[in-house]
Amino acid sequence: MNTGRTTAPDETGQNQPLKGWEELGIVRRRGVRGWFRRHPRVMNAVVVLIYLLLSVGNLGFLFADMAERGWLILGIDLVIAALLIFRHRAPLTVTAAVTVAEAAALTIYPWHNAQLIGLCFALYCVGLALGLKWALPVAAVSWAFSYVPVLRLSAWEAEYGTSVLVESMDEPMSSASFFWAAAPVMLLFCGMSAGIGAAVRRGREHQREILEWAQRSQEMAQVGERNRIAREMHDVVAHSLSVMISLADGARVVVRRDPERAAEVLEELSGTGRSALGDMRRIIGVLKRGDDVAEAREQERGPVRETLEELYEGFRQAGLPLTVTTVGPPLPDDTGFGLTVHRIIQESLTNVLRYGRQVSQVEVRVEHQTGLTEEESERLRDEEGLSQEEQDALGMGRSCQVVLTITDDGLPSSGGQRAESVGSGQGIHGMAERVAFYNGSIYAGPGHPRGWTVRAVLQPPH
């Protein structure tokens, strides 16, 4: 399935997230490091320039020791510099070529000023591309192969004599002692270069995981928002059209016998249509502004109790023989919770209006069960010996619940079954989603001995 995500391979050969998400992590890096991260070609050029500057640091000693053959070393330095340009594209190949070039340079002139510096730059990219598991063995093998020519140091001194570089040292040291001291240091540098590359790789992988997680979170949020908007549109359209159809049918029946009553019904029909149109405009406005659907709708609604009364009256006008029973204290003054209660009752009554046959009684029961207080719970523990678990098992827990029960006594149209649904099931699914948000449960199914029952149990916010 195409999620709309665009990926591209980075310098490590792995796929990076969408460019905009990648830049989200890069742009936040300020200073010189962030600038070079955003301009990798410039960083590569700087690395090559640094290597060239280090290579020409001992030209005087080079030509003093080897005369015109010193140009061979400069040629090898230029070859290594050219290879470093491609170190990100083919790190292993470049590392192998640089290793051979470093060995050639040490064969010709063991006192090469930039010995193994180019190899360190190449090993950094091996760690960046392949990780520490591969980079450290490659570093060890490359170091060993590069330093093999040092074993013929005595042959070189027999041909050229003691290097001017050794003679210029403040403390005299034999050539062999110098290389025995330099070799472990260069091995350490090679290992550190590979390790730094591997550490940067891990950091970028972590950053990539965070960015991909952020992208997935955005996609999930978009899906959730689309589902909320679809649920709101379903509630508005299904409810309003069902009521309008019932009102239109009623007006058609009474228009000849009671024109005044028909006019009242048509006025109610018109009002329902205008209300539905206003709701749809608000939802479309949410799409344009990016606000939350529930919050935007609640900003234009009254308190929950007044809204429910208006809802009940609208269904009575549509012809439902509705009875409402409220038990317990008023519902919590929470807009999100109030909207959930409103939508569940609205969807249930709309389904009765659409599918119920020969309905003579519809009952809405709203029970607000506050549960036991802390003092009452302690008294039951002390006097009755009931633990908190036993109280919960007996339905005497301290948690509050709001129970919504909507029942009707309608008959199926034929064959003992309720009328076939003409909808998509979005309504019941939407009710289940709303109830789950408040740690509740819902049942929607045939009643006994007849009709249909919807029962929702919600845990109101404290």
Distance CA 33, CA 193 (A): 17
Distance CA 7, CA 9 (A): 7
Question: Which residue's structure tokens are 């029960």?
Answer: 405
The DSSP secondary structure of 8-32, one letter per residue, reads EE-TTSSEE--HHHHHHHHHT--HH
Report the topology of domain 303-462. Heat Shock Protein 90 (3.30.565)
Distance CA 226, CA 223 (A): 5
Looking at residue 324, what is its pLDDT? 93
Q: How many residues does the chain have?
A: 462
Query: 287-298 b/e with 16+ CB inside 10 Å = b?
Result: eeeeeebbeebb
Compute the half-sphere exposure of residue 232: CA atoms within 13 Å on the CB side of its CA. 26
Q: Which two tokens stand for residue 123?
A: 């090993």
Q: Look at 202-216, 231-245, 377-391 and tell me which has the smallest mean pLDDT.
A: 231-245
pLDDT above 70: percentage of residues in the chain: 71
Most confidently predicted of 6-10, 142-146, 436-440: 142-146
DSSP character at residue 417: B
CB 283 within 8 A of CB 293: yes
Which one has a higher pLDDT value, 386 or 358? 358
Distance CA 320, CA 302 (A): 24
| CA-angle at 422, arms to 456 and 407, nearest 5° | 30
Average pLDDT on 314-327 reads: 87
Q: Is the peptide bond before 330 cis (omega within 30 degrees of 0)?
A: no
**Three-state secondary structure of 76-145:** HHHHHHHHHCCCCCCHHHHHHHHHHHHHHHHHHCCCCCCCCHHHHHHHHHHHHHHCHHHHHHHHHHHHHH
Average pLDDT on 263-270 reads: 74
Q: Which two tokens stand for residue 79?
A: 């070859």
Distance CA 336, CA 460 (A): 10
Distance CA 326, CA 404 (A): 10
pLDDT above 70 for 394 = no
pLDDT tens digits along 49-97: 988 888 877 776 667 777 777 788 888 888 999 999 999 899 999 999 9
Nearest to 100 by CA among 134, 117, 76: 76
pLDDT above 90 for 124 = yes
Residue 320's SS3 state is coil
pLDDT above 50 for 251 = yes
Rounded to two decimals, what is the model's pTM? 0.50
Residue 277's SS3 state is helix
Domain boundaries, the chain: 8-217, 303-462
Most confidently predicted of 75-79, 335-339, 426-430: 75-79
| CA-angle at 228, arms to 311 and 216, nearest 5° | 165
Alpha helix (H) residue ranges in 292-425:
293-298, 304-317, 335-355, 374-379, 388-393
Which one has a higher pLDDT value, 276 or 326? 326
Distance CA 359, CA 366 (A): 21
CB 427 within 8 A of CB 454: no
pLDDT tens digits along 14-56: 444 444 555 555 545 667 777 777 778 888 888 889 888 888 7
Q: Which two tokens stand for residue 370?
A: 């506050």
Question: Which residue's structure tokens are 């709203």?
Answer: 366
Distance CA 142, CA 116 (A): 9
Cα distances (Å, whole numbers) of residue 442 to 69, 232, 436: 90, 19, 9
Q: Which helix or strand (DSSP H or E) is residue 325 part of?
A: strand 322-327
Cα distances (Å, whole numbers) of residue 457 to 85, 368, 369, 399, 434: 67, 10, 10, 12, 11
The torsion angles phi and psi of 203, rounded to 5 degrees, stand at -65, -40
CB 324 within 8 A of CB 364: yes
Looking at residue 350, what is its pLDDT? 83
Radius of gyration of the chain (CA): 40
The distance of Cα 313 from the centroid of its chain, to the nearest Å, equals 44
Distance CA 411, CA 449 (A): 10
Which one has a higher pLDDT value, 401 or 19? 401
Average pLDDT on 331-359 reads: 84
pLDDT tens digits along 109-123: 777 767 788 899 999
